[in-house]
Amino acid sequence: SHQCFSSSSTNAIIEQTTDSLQEQGFSVYAHRLVSESTYRSLHKRIPKLFAGEFETGVYPDEWHWREGISKQNGVTREMCNVWKSDRLVASIVLQESLGKLVAQIMDWPSVRIAQDDLIWKPPCVSTIDNNNSVVGFHQDSAYISSQFEPYENNSVTVWMALDDTDEETGCIQYAVGSHKWKEGESNEDVETLSSATFHGSGAESYQDSLPSSNNMSNATIVSAPVSQGYALFHHQNVWHGSGPNLSATRHRRALVGHYLRGDVHFADPESAPRQTPWGQASYIYGRYKRFQSVEVDESFFPVIYASPGQGQERTIWLDDYIYS
């Protein structure tokens, strides 16, 4: 079964991770988060998921590349909110000990899951495949943080490597310190620029979505290799992407958890039109916003960890769902 290391014995590592998040915008967590038995089980499960075999019968919220339907085999394959479709995935991204670790690193009273993200870059078999297995530079905040209030530091990403990832297989690259860039430093619509580029890039252009104004074009881009079973934590506003998988034999698979402060609410200004239930919410989040309410529903964004005495508790049905 999946195990997280006990956060009570890693205070120095938690502090180091927090400091790196604040200064660089990302950090490799120094302890393994996904056990060998778990990532090997996921290796067997992932092809079945992309073939449409969903244990619970519930489809994920996003599904890019389908076995037997999609023509291009070399594209980056992605699913979002697989926790609703598969209990093995749920047992990892909804684990209470992982939520506690996130809460300690972020100094949050409680933690919800915003969404998960299953990403699969298959081995390169042709130049065309090589060109398509990229992820354009973007900020997670454009998809996630902007949906909720308060906005500042309301989300964080935990990127868990299911294979050894390096430059050959297209590991994540970061624009160091880009989480500190201010919107006013760019004349471009940063949120639109970011949210439009995840799948819309090629091997020669996946970094082109970085804002080009002022000092942004001089960003230091670094690669962040991660060993199998280990994880990256990164800031909601850091610009990041990844190049193609150039290996002819190695897969590059990752399970990503995007987490929210447990006490956020939907961003829906009183001045905004209220003609639809989703109001100002967009992307997949608008599906789960109720009419004339900014409450974040635990049915869709369960609380995976809550500090004692903070007025929230871990969502009551989670453990029955995961282990049933």
- pLDDT of residue 305 exceeding 60, the answer is yes
Compute the distance between CA of residue 54 and CA of residue 318 in angstroms, rounded to an integer: 18
Q: CB of 262 within 8 A of CB of 99?
A: no
Mean pLDDT (the chain, rounded): 88
Using CB atoms within 10 Å of the CB of residue 38, give its burial: 0 to 12 exposed, 13 to 18 middle, 19+ buried: buried
pLDDT of residue 268: 76
The SS3 assignment for 114 reads: strand
> Tokens 């104004």 label which residue?
213
- pLDDT tens, 229-282? 999 999 999 999 999 999 999 999 999 999 999 999 999 766 555 678 888 888
Q: CB of 72 within 8 A of CB of 244?
A: no
Compute the distance between CA of residue 287 and CA of residue 13 in angstroms, rounded to an integer: 37
The closest of 163, 170, 144 to 74, measured between CA atoms, is 170
Alpha helices in the chain (DSSP H): 11-23, 36-50, 87-93, 96-106, 127-132, 190-195, 318-323
DSSP 8-state secondary structure symbol assigned to residue 207: T
The closest of 251, 244, 233 to 42, measured between CA atoms, is 251
- pLDDT of residue 90 exceeding 90, the answer is yes
Compute the distance between CA of residue 153 and CA of residue 148 in angstroms, rounded to an integer: 11
> Tokens 């290799």 label which residue?
225
Which comes out higher in pLDDT, residue 8 or 105?
105
- pLDDT tens, 201-226? 565 556 776 776 445 567 899 999 99
- pLDDT tens, 38-69? 999 999 999 999 999 999 999 999 999 998 88
Which range scores top for mean pLDDT: 184-193, 227-236, 278-287?
Answer: 227-236
